[in-house]
Structure formats: C-alpha cells, structure tokens
Amino acid sequence: MSNHRVTITYTAPQTFLSTDHWKQVHASLVSQLPLRNLHWKPSTRPTIRTIQELQVDFVAADVKRDEHTYQVPQTLLEKPLMNAYIVICEDTETYKNTVKKQIKDWHSSIAQRKNQEWLIVHIVRPDAKASGARLFQVKSSVLDKIKADFNVDKKDRCVQLAWASDSDNPAAWAELIGKMKDGLLAAFDAAVAQREEEVRRSEGQRQMPGWNFCTYFILKESLASSFEGMGLHEEALSTYEELEVLFFQVLKDKSMTWFGSLINPSARDDSAALLSIERKPFRDLILANSISIFDFRIYLLARQCKLLSGMGKIVEVGRKAIMFLQTFGKRLREVENELLPPFFVESWTYCSALSVADQCDIWAKSLQMEKPVLTSFNAVKGELAELARHQLDALGIAAGFLPSHPPFSNITASTNGENESDPLPADFSRISRADLQSALQDKEAFFEMYVKVTNRAIESYVAAGRRKFALRMHGSLAALDVLRNRLPSALQTYTSLPAHYAPHGWTSLEAYMLTRSLDLHAQSQKPKDKDWLNVLLDYLKAYVQDMGKALLISAKDHIAYTTSLVKSLREAAESSESDVTQHDHPAITVSVPKDPVRLDEKRDGAVLRIIVRNALPCPVEVDEVTVTLAGREGERLPFIGEAHSLVPGMNTMVLFCSSATVGTYSLHLSQVKIAKLVLQWMHTTPPNAKASKPKRPPTLISIPRDLRALDVRLRQPLRIEVGGQSRIIAALSTGRNCVSKAMLRLSAPSGIQFETDKIGLEGDGAISFEVIDDAIVLFDLAADTTVSISVPHSDASALHAMRVNITVDFVTSLEPDLTRTLRLARVVLVSLPLTINVEDFFRGTRLFTRFTLSTTTHQYIRIKSLELTAEGEDDELKITKSVTQSSTITTVTPGQPGRFLFQLDSKQGPAAEFVGLCIKYRMLREEVEGFIDNAVREGMGDSTSQADHDTLVDILVQALESDASWVKLYGVTGELIVPNASCTHDRLNEAFERATEARCPPERNTTIWREIHIKTDVPSVHILAAARLRLLPTPFGTVGSIGKLPPLYAGQPISATLSITPTFHWSPKDHLTSQAYAMRFDIGELTADWLVSGRKTGDFVAKDGQTFETNITLIALHHGELMLPRVAVEALPIASDSRMGSVVPSCRAHQLHGAEKVLILPRGGRTTFIVDMGEPTDAY
C-alpha cells in the first residue's frame, strides 16, 4: 500500500501510439518527472503545504481500466488523479472531421469520474507553432478550436506542446508541467476533502452501536497513505498520531472487542524485524478484527517510523523504538507466565533493538547529517545496543553464565515459574533466533556475543561523546573479565576507569570501580605499593563524596570495610620508600574558626586553633598537622601540631608557631601527615594558575603584636652629618627572652648594600658580637635588653625611605634546641625629615641669611635650636642670630614652616669659606612616646613590671594613633589628652588613670634630641649694586639741594636722578676679580603707571665705592600713590683666558627706593557745558 504513487493516464490514437515519434515524446516527457515544488493550498487547512518532489507514473489508459474500487479503502492514489489525451493534428479540417469526435468520446468517459482532472495535449512542431502565430490572423488554429469545444467551465485544460526530436527545448515543457501540477493538486484536494468528510462522519458515529475502531482505522489510514504517496510525510505522520491517541483512548475505555488477545505469539515473533510491515498481513488482521494488540502496536510503530525516515528524522525513529520496547516490554512481562513462551520478552527485545539499529543505519546512508544530529544518532544506536545487552544480562543469569549481582543484575530476568530456592534448568528452545539460541548453549559463545554487543554500544557512545555511558560499558566488560578469570585485564580496566569518572563528578560509578579494583588487587595478592595507595585514596575520596555508600561496595558493613582499608592505608604509607602527596582529599578537611590566634604568654610565638573534620566513619591516626599562613612578599608562617587521633566528625586542635610576627595573613596551606602520606589542601589560588572554579575570598587571620617578644626596630642615627657616611641604627630588643645567640641579617630590595664590617655598638654596655658572612652575631643577651647597632650602608640619597628585610635567627636559654626565625620588613627614613631653604640678602658689608625649615612628612617636628657657626677666625666674620618673641622650642608642621634669620657681618668680605649649621630637633611622635613612657613609669611607681609597662604604653599609643584631635592642644599647652582610651586590665586601671592625667611642657620633656649637621659655603658675589631713584623739586635741582617736593600731578614731567653705587666687598678671590667692571642699567617701565624719558638704559664702568648718576624725567600716567620704577643692573661679559671665552661676573642689585611711594594728585581745571533744555510745546 505504501508503494502507491500518483498516476496520470494518457490516451491517443493507436496509430500514433505505435510510432517512433510518440516513443520519443513519451521518453522526453518521462524525463521531466518527478514534479518539483508543488504548493498545495488545501481547502480544509489554513496553511500552504509545499511538496518538494512528487513521483508520478505516466501510463497508458488501458492499463488502468478497472474503475471499481475496493470495498476497503486503500488510498486516494489507487485511481488516476489526471487523464490526458494526446492530439496530433495540424489541419482544422482533419480536426473537424475526425479528431474532434475522438476527443469527444474520450471526454465523455472521463468527465464522469469523480476527483479526476483531464488535460488535452496538442503536440506540434516548433516551426508550425511559430508560423501559426501570424499577425491579424483570421482563420483559427486547431488549438483554438479544441479550447472552444471543450473548455466549457472557463478552466483552461488544453495545452500545446511544441516539440521535435532534434530540438528538445526545456522551456517547451513549462506550460504542460504547470497544467499537470495544477490538475493533480486540484484532483487531490477534492479527493482529500471527500475522504476527510467520510472520516468525520464515521468518527461522529463512535458512540453509536455498530461502530468499529478497526474499520475507522482503515478508513483514516487511507488518508495517511495518500499523504505519504504525495510526499506530505508530516500530514501522514500527524494522521497516525491521531489514530494512536484514539487507540489509547479506546484502550483506556477497555473497549477491546475489535481486537484479539494482548498477544498471540507465532513462531518467529520474538526474532522478526520490528519495523518490517511485510512480515504479517497486518491490514487483513485489522479488517478481520482479529489482530492482537501486540501486532497492532508494532504495525502502528512501523508505519510511523517509516514516515519519520522519509522526513530524515532517523534519531526520532530510534527514540520511538526504545520507548516502545521499554514500555510494551514491561506490559508483556506482566503476562509472560500465562501467555508467552520462556524468555520471549528478552529475545523479542534483543532482536528488535538490534534490528531497529540496523534499519536506522540503512535509512541513514542516504542522508547527510550535521554534526549535532549525527551525535544524537550515534547516541540512540548506543542506547539500542545497550538495551540489547541488558537482555543478554538477563539471559546469561538465567543460563547460569552470569552472576545475579551488579553490573549484570540490572534487568529482572524472566522466571517463567522458576523458584530461586529450587531452580530448574532454563528452557531456551522456544527462542527462534539461531545465533542467540546456540550462544545460550555454549558459555564461551555467549561471552563472545556479550562482548560483541557491548563493544557495539561502546563504539556508538564514543562516537556520540557520551563518555559516562561508554565507561559504564567498559566496567561491565571488566566484570566479565573477572568472571572469566582474566584478573590482570580486569584490574587494569577497573584501575583506569576512575580517572575518567572523577572530572565529571560521577562519584557513584567511580566508587564502584575503585571498590572492584581494590577487591581484585587483594585477590591477585599483589603488594600494596604506591599505585595501590593511590587507588585506595581515590576510593576514600569517592566514598566521602557519595551519599549512597552502602550501595557502592560489596561488603555488608561498610564501616568495618572502610576501617580495614584505613588501617591498611597507614601500613602502606609506613612502608613507602618516598613521600606520597595527595592534594585536596575530602576525607579530612581543615578549617579555621573565628579569632583563632592567641599569643603564648610564656614564650615567643602564637597558638592557632583549628577544626579538623574527619569524614570517614573510623578514627584516623595522624603524625603531624601543619597549617601555613601567607603574608606579604612570600612570607610563610607554619603552625605545627603533633600526633593526634582524629575521631569521626569534628576535632579541635591547637598548633604552635615559634616565629609568628604581627600582621594580617591569609590561610595558605594545610597539611596532614600520616607516616609518609601527606594530605595537602591549598586554600589560595596561585596568581598564575587558571582556576576552574570561581575564586573564593581568602580566609584572613590576624596575629596580634606580642609586646614582650624579641623585636628589631630601625631608625636614623641621633647625629646626622650631611655628606658623611650614611648609617642606620638597628635596635634589637630581647623582650622576655634570655638570648644565648642571635644572628641578625639585613638586606634592602632597593639594592642598598650594608657594610657590616664597619658596624659599631651604641651605648656603654659591653656586648659580645662578631660578623660572620655579612651576619651580625650577638651573644648572651639578657632579658629586657636593647642593643643598638650602627650599620653603615651605601649611598641612598636617591631614596626618601628605604625598605629593609630583617631576618633574626635566635636561640633562647629556656629552649636551647629550638632555633626561632624572625622575619620582619621595616621601613626607615633615609632622607632628612626636614627640607632647608636658604635665602641670602646682601646689604653692604652685611649678609642676612634666612633658613626656612619644612617637614617632608605629615609628622610634626620640634626644633630646639638652630645654630650657625663660622669655620674661620671669630673677628673676621661675626654671626648674629635674630631675637624672636616665641618660645625657645619651635614646632614645624606640614602647614607651618619654621623660619630662622642670621646676620653675617664681615669686615673684609667672605673671610671664611664654610659655615656650619646645626639643627637640634625631635619628632613629635618621639616626644609623646617618651612622655608616655615616663608618665607610665611614674604612674606605676615601684611595682613596675616591664610587661605591664609595655602593655600600658601600647594602649596609650594606639589610642593616640586612632585620633589626632589631641595634637593642637598638646602643642600649645603641653597637656596630653588621650582620646577614647580605656584599659581592660583591672589591675592596671589606677596606673592608667595617673598616666593619662600627667602633664609635661615640651621644655621639660627629657626625650633625647637629634642633631643634623650641615656644612655650607659662605655666599659671595663679584658686584653688589645699590640703585636709587630720587625725585627733584625742579629740573635744575641737584641731589644735595633736594628739599620738600612740591605737589605732583598726573601728566606733569618730574625730574629725577638715578644713582648706582657698586661695592666689591663680597667678591670672591678668583680670576674674575678686577678693579672695575663694565655694567649696564635698565629702568623698568611700568606702562600702567609711568612714562620714562631720558637715559632709560645705558652702560657705565663700576668701581668699588664710586657712585654713578644720571638724570631722567618721569611722567605719572594717573593719580594715586605710585611705586617708583625698579632699576635692573647687570654686569657685562669680560674677556677671560680660559677656553670658555668671555664670562659674566656675578652681580646682585637691590633697590634703596624699593619701599618708597609718590603721591600723585589729579590735574585740576574747569570745563563749561551748555545743555539744551528744549522749547515749550503745546502738544498736550
């Protein structure tokens, strides 16, 4: 039935049909088939259906003479959809006398047929058609007469074909092909509409007596078959789906009178191809109302799958078949003991699954699948092969070839009346598949078949990228190897499979495979080497991560089983030749609670409290637990705990680090050591690592400062000589420790080198030390001792501050076997805390020098004194310091510099080459810390404990650092008010209150002062010129006759005299020293205030003490108090014997009239204005 195709019949005079001309025309017409791109707009459906390709049979009418239809509807295509009459006539008279009657007789018989179209094809030669198309043609052609005679319903069913064997033009067929498409679609649409009406009428009678589902099925199936023949596979599939839904509704209503039994198995039902329609007369059984539900479901499935294959949906075919085999197989198992022969379901499922896979391969050969579709296709084939393999599991267990436990017992085998307590020999004689029946009689043959089907599933799963399914199949092959006593092969498979499961989180499968690997290792009596240890660790990992532990192992008591494995784990770790490191094992986890660190009050170091979780159901003996904290620049602090027994669940442990330093650290690494097995967990991701998981925020741990621990501080020397050897002071404080030996190493990342061979100790104490390999080694230091070491270093003038890495390895007398290592990073200021700006003002024989001191940091600086001393004889250079009204101590702040003025008076010029500047200062922080230290000692009295003293000082200093509001009041009054300070130690409250109430003005503070010594040159200048402008009362006046000036007015010429008096008093003694110098003056013209007339600029010869004068005229441009113009004086180049040619002597000029102002009055006068007030008007 499914082979029905669209038929077009043709009729023509027998004389023409026997000619070669017709044979050529027929062959050419058949070559135009199949028809393509037909667009069907059904009258009963809203959308257009496109038929990509339509197969058409073009046959003679006498072949289709049987006009009677079957009583049982087959398909709408069993009758022709179109009938054609072929006309060969080019003469109208011949047409009128002979051909017209032949066409009329044919038309009379065709017109009576329902749902069939007709078409008259007039064949002419191409030249005849061209010659017949004459302009202003009066006589009609044969085609016109045919159309006039037979196109009675205004539908053109006549077409002319201009064709010749020697000129086969494809365009000549276009009109004929178009008429054929239109006619076929019209006939098919009418037939479908009629048949759908019959189906609706039958379905409407469903509730009436006598209605038969099987008859209705055959009727509606004829529609599906018609759609299939027309290439409308989606319409056909939709029809079958509607029939399937109706069948399930009938099944639900239990109206099964139209069917036979559930199943009536025949001889080869268990091995026949599932999708074969020809294996049984299904339609005859349906019409006879005797078809079983088993056969009906198979027929319906086969028809649907055939349509899906025509649509290219091979994947859907496999999925539909798998669903059918699983669901209907479950239904058959319910009745297998009563209706089915032994192992019918297993044999039927096995054969059907493989036959569907084979049929899908056949259908897929003609398709070009894209990669996603091909992947799904391989996956479906793998599922079919696995379904068949499961049936072999059931049959193998029944035959006694396979054990009844996983992985073989996934499918429940047919019992067929067998009792497990009293099993009977299995009867496989009713299985009709020969190879399967023979395999069930021979164990090795069965195993070969088992392996073959399993490998088939593996190959499909691998091609589909389903690794999990493929690996599971490998696991079943490994189990089969165990059964066949091929232990090495099985052990290798079980050992390699977990590595494929772990990345995907398949812990259940991983744990099962590892369990089998451990069991096989024990059966093989192999040594428990490093490989076995890794397998055991992987098993414990999967055991912890999987929730269904009891289902994964063969032992009944998994706790006892795991306990024995853990015991063996330790034995294997002890016998290992080298350390075995395992990362991130979940059996043991280490976490840190809140505020986990506290100081050890009796010794240097810190204690870390951790929580160790043992996820195993048995205790684990560990030898050592280590937690490492990471600081800045690679600093690591290891906290170590000794041997401990970890019980199941949470365990609290206390770890100790002897070299802990204050700071904030991140949890970096935790480690548990069991003999030579090391379990490690990285808590931070390396910067250059590509993390597969999102980064978690680090666990931060703060270690408080131990005020009584050994410490090293760096500072600048108390005396700094600018230009001398650079040094820093390293102050080592022993704290509570009696140090028998301490080795101090200093290094600077900036490249500064420390000259340890030139070190020196500050203070009067006799300390034994030596230098070994650039390390300073100190011996026998008592507790609470501070050793200050002066360490020279290379030039660091380019740096403001220097970072120094400090490493101290020391041994205390209380713990002589423990060497502690203290690593510190300190920053010490290497530049001066002050910037010094010098300004020099020459006035005759005197030099005024002003020093401006500014702080280079945000800290305040106390200046006790600033002294300037001459290096020469005292009577030649007299230095006088200015007297200020402020206190003797000056405070320099970031916003307020300190200024100091000195007068240098020289009788004979720069008598001394250098002067020395000495600055005594201290940082405000040092002053306050010293004040707090003294206040605390006084407050505690004689019961001073160094630990209590350090605690109180630290509390007060931290309070001052947190709030700077105390600074201004302390700077003015010396009263230190500590903000928000509180003492949590009850026994120290009284001393704390006395310390906070203490007062000490800066003058009485005993904190030591620092000194800066700077040697600087005495400034000099070749020429010092004093310029002055004097206004004259009259143009003819002289300087000596200057009296009171008359009133001066804007715009009035004012006479003035310019005088310049040079001096060589501060001239240096060099090759430029001369008795006279050529100089030039220039009066600066203030264009907004003055106009200068006369000798505005000019040259003159300067001699020591001789005054140069010249007259000029000034004109004030406006009234007001005006400054006099400034006079610029410069020296001109003089010849020199050096290679540089001419040189310019140094020169400085100052304005003697710089502070003078002149009052200019506005010019007086009278101006008369005449204003026209206008004439009176009568406009109002």
At 373-414, the pLDDT tens digits run 999 999 999 999 999 999 999 999 988 888 887 778 764 444
Query: Considering only 125-134, 274-283, 882-891, 1133-1142, which range has the smallest mean pLDDT?
Result: 125-134
Under 8 Å between Cβ of 125 and 76: no
C-alpha distances in angstroms, 430 versus 269, 340, 346, 552?
A: 11, 10, 12, 37
Could you give the 3-state DSSP secondary structure of residue 919?
strand
Q: Which of 449-463, 976-990, 1050-1064 has the lowest mean pLDDT?
A: 976-990
Note the Cα 571 to chain centre separation in Å.
Answer: 44
| C-alpha to C-alpha distance for 1163 and 1165, rounded to whole angstroms | 7
Bridge partners for 419 per DSSP: 422
What pLDDT was estimated at residue 413?
44
Between 104-108, 236-240, 1071-1075, the lowest mean confidence (pLDDT) is in 1071-1075
Mean pLDDT of 33-45: 85
Give the DSSP H or E segment for 1120.
strand 1120-1123
- Quick check: 98 pLDDT over 70? yes
**Looking at residue 877, what is its pLDDT?**
77
Q: Residue 315: which pLDDT band, with cuts at 50, 70 and 90?
A: very high
873 has pLDDT over 70: no
Is the predicted pLDDT of residue 1165 greater than 90, yes or no?
no
pLDDT band at 142 (very low <50, low <70, confident <90, very high): confident
* DSSP β-ladder status, 644-646 and 620-622: antiparallel
Q: Quick one: pLDDT band at residue 995, thresholds 50, 70, 90?
A: low
Q: What residues are paired with 904 via a beta bridge?
A: 847, 879
Cβ density class 927-960: b for 16+ within 10 Å, e for less: bbbbbbbbbbeebbeeeeeeebbbbbbebbbebb
Distances (CA, A) of 563 to 531, 559, 892: 20, 6, 74
User: Residue 825 half-sphere exposure, CB side, CA atoms within 13 Å?
Assistant: 9
Mean pLDDT, the chain, whole residue set: 82
Tell me, what's the pLDDT at 132? 45
What does the pLDDT look like over 684-727, one tens digit per residue?
876 555 555 556 788 899 999 888 899 999 998 988 888 888 99
How far apart, in whole angstroms, are the C-alpha atoms of residue 318 and residue 324?
10
pLDDT > 70: what percent of the chain? 84
| pLDDT classification of 665: cutoffs 50, 70, 90 | very high
Mean predicted confidence (pLDDT) in 455-471: 89
CB 748 within 8 A of CB 710: no
pLDDT at position 432 over 70:
yes
- Reported as half-sphere exposure (CB side, CA atoms, 13 A), residue 881 has a value of 13
Q: What does the angle CA 232 – CA 238 – CA 240 come to, to the nearest 5 degrees?
A: 105
How confident is the model at residue 985, as a pLDDT? Answer: 61
Confidence at residue 1041, expressed as pLDDT on a 0 to 100 scale: 46
Cα–Cα distances (Å) from 361 to 209, 273, 315, 358, 367, in that order, read 47, 14, 11, 5, 10
Mean pLDDT of 657-680: 91
CB contact at 8 A, 377 and 315: yes
pLDDT score of 993: 66
- Asked if residue 128 has pLDDT above 60, the reply is no
Residue 819, SS3 per DSSP: strand
Tokens 């001699």 belong to residue: 1103
**Share above pLDDT 90 across residues of the chain, in percent, rounded to a whole number:** 26
Q: What is the 3-state secondary structure (H, E, C) of 348-367?
A: HHHHHHHHHHHHHHHHHCCC
Q: Which of 1057-1071, 1075-1089, 1116-1130 has the highest mean pLDDT?
A: 1116-1130
- Over residues 249-267, the pLDDT tens digits come to 888 777 667 777 888 888 8
The yes-or-no verdict on residue 73 having pLDDT over 80 is no
- Could you give the CA distance from residue 252 to residue 250 in angstroms, rounded to a whole number? 5
Mean pLDDT, rounded, for 32-44: 85
Least confident of 121-125, 521-525, 1099-1103: 521-525
HSE-CB for 628 with a 13 A CA cutoff? 14
H or E stretch covering 26: helix 20-31
pLDDT for the residue numbered 321: 94
pLDDT at residue 688 in the model? 58
